[in-house]
Amino acid sequence: MTQRSEFGSDGTGPGDRPTGGPDGATLDAGAEPDPGHPAPLPVRHRPSGLTAAEVAERIARGEVNDVPVRSSRSTADIVRGNVFTRFNAIIGVLWVIMFVVAPFQDTLFGFVILANTGIGIIQELRAKRTLDGLAVIGEAKPTVRRDGIAAEVSTSEIVLGDLIELGPGDKVVVDGLVAEADGMEVDESLLTGEADPVLKKRDDRMMSGSFVVAGGGAFTATKVGREAYAAQLAEEASRFTLVSSELRTGISTILKYVTWMMIPTALGLIISQLVVKHTDLKGSVARTVGGIVPMIPEGLVLLTSVAFAIGVIRLGRKQCLVQELPAIEGLARVDVVCLDKTGTLTEGGMDVTELRPLAGADEPYVRTVLGTLGESDPRPNASLQAIIEAFPDSVEWRCTESLPFSSARKYSGATFSEGDGQSSTWLLGAPDVLLPPGDPALGEVDRLNERGLRVLLLVRAVGELDSPDVAAGARPTALVVLEQRLRPDAADTLRYFAEQDVHAKVISGDNAVSVGAVAGKLGLPGAADTVDARRLPAERDAMATQLDAHAVFGRVTPQQKRDMVGALQHRGHTVAMTGDGVNDVLALKDADIGVSMGSGSEATRAVAQIVLLNNSFATLPSVVAEGRRVIGNITRVATLFLTKTVYSVLLAILVVCWQVEYPFLPRHLTLLSTLTIGVPAFFLALAPNRERARPHFVRRVMRYAIPGGIIAAATTFVTYLLARSYYSGSGSLEAETSAATLTLFLVAMWVLAIIARPYTWWRIALVAAMGLAFLIVLVVPWLQDFFALQLVGTTMPWTAVAIAAVGGGLLEFAWRWVDRRFPA
């Protein structure tokens, strides 16, 4: 078997023997320390790692990597966030007042708030359990060497002084110093902004949050937990969050204006009822509270949280980890999805289908070279793994130097001592990178690529492996033809995106012709017109023009992927990026929504908002559908809640202007809110909804809520004034209130009937059930007494119905006029 050069028998590499003291203690040899990242204390690099006793001792001292959990906020935070809200505080004060001055019926609104808060807490705790369970499944498990044995452990089990092994795609989870390095290149751009990978040597600093792009090695942990550099930066950002959500931002904006609108209106109502009318104190307080409470859209925030939480639970059942809740909403708004071919359209594994020696090369010798190349890499990628399986190493060649694969340079290499005193250097990688343009071998490569096959070129180099132009003058030796395994569900998923007007862009580091052939097999429109990214313009607008015109791009570097995402965003697109490899990290981070496969590298899973733990690309339509359900349904129910707010504020203003008693007690509006908003909104918020997500949430909600609220307030107040005139002298305020309540209920039901469209059997049944419930209240004597509703005579009740019918006609006209005048 090949003796690998990267580690000696005790785990250290050439020149990596401990120095600086009898125990191998070393000092940081890095640059000048900076205030935010001081130089670490002397560190002892132990090739065998810590012993079990030392690990136990450090755990007892608390020197453990106790980082915050990203997937969800704590139970205390959930309870606090649902209980201690601005509107709960207002309603709580009003509830206490009503307990003192009014009968039990007028305190029902407070119990509704308790029920709403309890539902919100329960649903969010359910979502928390789902998220935490999925986070454990998808958690990165670093390889730690202890007692000379390498084993995977949870990130939270790392202790100070642990020796942590790294390979391509691995994320650096704690701070430390390099103990072993074999061509290890680390990308620190997520922390420093520097795009170029950094070649690490022994005793160089490793910062948590960076990741390995090539090579491998090991480092000793010097800072763990909240002391680590990235943990200090990311602790707040990595928690459960509802930021960057148009829904949440829009609702917050609406609630802010509602609050400012409530204050003067409520003050005017209080003065009107207590001072101007000189009514009894308890009655005035009750009617004042009855006017203030319905101004508050208290259930809107609850239903938004519940809709998000249930979305998380539904997606969790499909092994989809939503690391940031707005990702559900965000993916529903996406109009461009950028796909990495390998691991997304194709499965991770590959098969070698053919070996073609070039220029008379000896095939058995080529097989030996390929087998030894495979053994020279301790962490082979999918292509090299296929070569290892096809050409097992069987000779005692010794690898004296190796060059790990990098997605930036597109090749790997190694230098071998062949046992007879001869030494040779070999490179394996992309033919169009290793060969000059016009080389005869490229024609054969193109023909293979057109069939969707992946082709690697083996060349014998004439220069030193560490030379930047090592590929210059290399002699082509063989073509290795690999077949990629297409994901069986990829074609259906691409078809779904096309039907939903979401443009798919395949951007891959592989040969453009080969990528186009794979995309063509999956039925992607425009797959035949491929673009080699090496010829793409660097200027953003010019690049965006090319991206809009084409669908398949090959030979894309990691930095270009990032630039392409930025160019699309610059054109106003909402971009999702999928990927599983380390070369996708920068683009995933910059995209509006990053989607990683569960089998992807630690780095991709760390920066993505959505992780498909089942590695199924077909899960994405479910995420889109869930986002559309949340957005569409919350838009519906928000219209209901804000229509109530508008008509409540206008009624209060009309009462103040006309100097009359407020027509309703809290019990009346509790009944109306429950039947026309509360119960229907709960069902509508959780119903299936495939409407395409549209922007401008606040504008779309208010364009219906304002005319609906105006019509409801006007018709109700007209009925109330007519009832006051009709029943004048009888002193029957209850009869006047009952007539106004009937009109308001019918108009609010009409709003509900419009919101419930398009009708299905259960929506019709829902609206009918709410109407039936109100009818029961009107005809059952004890319910009449409980809610203080008594329709007197026939003239005024039928007048109330007629006014409501006129209001319904006005609603229909207003809805249609708004659709034409202010299209969404």
* Terminal CA-CA length for the chain: 68
Binned at pLDDT 50, 70 and 90, residue 489 comes out as confident
* Cα–Cα dist 474/427, whole Å: 9
- Model confidence at 41: pLDDT above 60: no
| CA nearest to 763, candidates 699, 819, 683, 707 | 683
User: How many other C-beta atoms can be found within 10 angstroms of the C-beta atom of residue 3?
Assistant: 15
- Provide the number of structural domains found in the chain: 4
**H, E, C per residue of 63-102:** CECCCCCCCCCCHHHHHHHHHCCHHHHHHHHHHHHHHHHC
Structure tokens at 59: 């755990």
Structure tokens at 636: 């519906």
Residue 256 in domain: no
Residue 290 in domain: no
In this structure, the answer to whether residues 340 and 300 fall within a common structural domain is: no
* Cα–Cα dist 455/350, whole Å: 12
Of the given ranges (195-199, 312-316, 611-615, 797-801), which has the lowest mean pLDDT? 195-199
Domain edge (last residue) among 590, 615, 640: 615
Quote the pLDDT of residue 32. Answer: 37
In this structure, the answer to whether residues 468 and 548 fall within a common structural domain is: no
- Model confidence at 497: pLDDT above 80: yes
Q: Rounded to 5 degrees, what are φ and ψ at 466?
A: -85, 5
- Give me the mean pLDDT over the 760-784 stretch: 93
Of the two residues 282 and 646, the one the predictor is more confident about is 646
Of the given ranges (147-156, 234-243, 263-272), which has the lowest mean pLDDT? 234-243
Helix (H) or strand (E) holding 610: strand 610-612
Q: Residue 549, SS3?
A: helix
Quote the pLDDT of residue 36. Answer: 43
Interval 434-452: pLDDT, tens: 888 888 888 888 888 888 7
In this structure, the answer to whether residues 446 and 420 fall within a common structural domain is: yes
Amino acid identity, residue 104?
F
* Cα–Cα dist 287/513, whole Å: 75
Out of 90-104, 204-218, 773-787, give the one with best mean pLDDT.
Answer: 773-787
583 near 559, Cβ under 8 Å? no
Domain edge (last residue) among 216, 240, 264: 240
Out of 201-215, 473-487, 748-762, give the one with best mean pLDDT.
Answer: 748-762
Q: What is the DSSP string of 293-333?
A: GGGS-HHHHHHHHHHHHHHHHHHHTTTEEESSTHHHHHHHH
Q: Choose, from 170, 182, 340, 510, the residue flagged as catalytic.
A: 340
Quote the pLDDT of residue 270. Answer: 78
Binned at pLDDT 50, 70 and 90, residue 758 comes out as confident
| CA nearest to 150, candidates 161, 166, 169 | 166
Residue found by looking up tokens 């569960």 in the block: 598
Residue 513, domain extent: 320-345+487-615
Binned at pLDDT 50, 70 and 90, residue 14 comes out as very low
412 near 403, Cβ under 8 Å? yes
Quote the pLDDT of residue 772. Answer: 96
In this structure, the answer to whether residues 379 and 326 fall within a common structural domain is: no
Alpha-carbon Rg of the chain, whole angstroms? Answer: 34
In this structure, the answer to whether residues 341 and 374 fall within a common structural domain is: no
In this structure, the answer to whether residues 414 and 431 fall within a common structural domain is: yes
Quote the pLDDT of residue 72. Answer: 58
DSSP 106: G
Percent of the chain with pLDDT over 90: 17
* Cα–Cα dist 162/43, whole Å: 11
Residue 277 in domain: no
Which CATH number characterizes residue 519's domain? 3.40.50.1000
In this structure, the answer to whether residues 459 and 493 fall within a common structural domain is: no
Which residues face 199 on adjacent strands? 185
User: How many other C-beta atoms can be found within 10 angstroms of the C-beta atom of residue 762?
Assistant: 11
Which residues face 198 on adjacent strands? 186
pTM score: 0.69
Binned at pLDDT 50, 70 and 90, residue 43 comes out as low
Quote the pLDDT of residue 12. Answer: 37
- Model confidence at 42: pLDDT above 70: no
233 near 67, Cβ under 8 Å? no
Contacts (Cβ under 8 Å, ≥6 apart) of 82: 117, 120, 121, 124, 302, 305
Helix (H) or strand (E) holding 252: helix 246-271
Percent of the chain with pLDDT over 70: 87
* Cα–Cα dist 500/118, whole Å: 37
Residue 609 in domain: yes
Residue found by looking up tokens 């109306």 in the block: 672
* Cα–Cα dist 69/59, whole Å: 19
Residue 620 in domain: no
465 near 439, Cβ under 8 Å? no
Amino acid identity, residue 242?
L
Residue 570 in domain: yes
Domain edge (last residue) among 461, 482, 503: 482
* Cα–Cα dist 624/330, whole Å: 9
Residue found by looking up tokens 């971009």 in the block: 575
* Cα–Cα dist 170/206, whole Å: 13
Which CATH number characterizes residue 723's domain? 1.20.1110.10
Which CATH number characterizes residue 42's domain? 2.70.150.10
Which CATH number characterizes residue 449's domain? 3.40.1110.10
Interval 313-324: pLDDT, tens: 888 888 888 877
In this structure, the answer to whether residues 584 and 721 fall within a common structural domain is: no
* Whole-number average pLDDT of the chain: 80
Of the given ranges (39-53, 159-173, 379-393), which has the lowest mean pLDDT? 39-53
* Cα–Cα dist 656/649, whole Å: 11
Interval 59-88: pLDDT, tens: 888 888 876 555 556 788 878 877 887 777
* Cα–Cα dist 702/640, whole Å: 10
**H, E, C per residue of 24-60:** CEECCCCCCCECCECCCCCEECCCCCECHHHHHHHHH
- Model confidence at 391: pLDDT above 80: yes
Structure tokens at 419: 């046992």
Quote the pLDDT of residue 134. Answer: 66
Amino acid identity, residue 161?
G
Residue 426 in domain: yes
In this structure, the answer to whether residues 338 and 301 fall within a common structural domain is: no
Residue 116 in domain: yes
In this structure, the answer to whether residues 651 and 673 fall within a common structural domain is: yes
In this structure, the answer to whether residues 305 and 360 fall within a common structural domain is: no
Is 340 among the catalytic positions?
yes
* Cα–Cα dist 271/282, whole Å: 14
Of the given ranges (499-508, 659-668, 745-754), which has the lowest mean pLDDT? 659-668
* Cα–Cα dist 334/332, whole Å: 6
Contacts (Cβ under 8 Å, ≥6 apart) of 706: 646
* Cα–Cα dist 179/201, whole Å: 8
96 near 113, Cβ under 8 Å? no
Of the given ranges (224-228, 722-726, 792-796), which has the lowest mean pLDDT? 224-228
In this structure, the answer to whether residues 17 and 164 fall within a common structural domain is: yes
E-assigned strands of 136-250?
143-146, 149-152, 163-166, 175-187, 198-199, 205-206, 211-223
Of the given ranges (228-237, 468-477, 646-655), which has the lowest mean pLDDT? 228-237
Quote the pLDDT of residue 600. Answer: 72
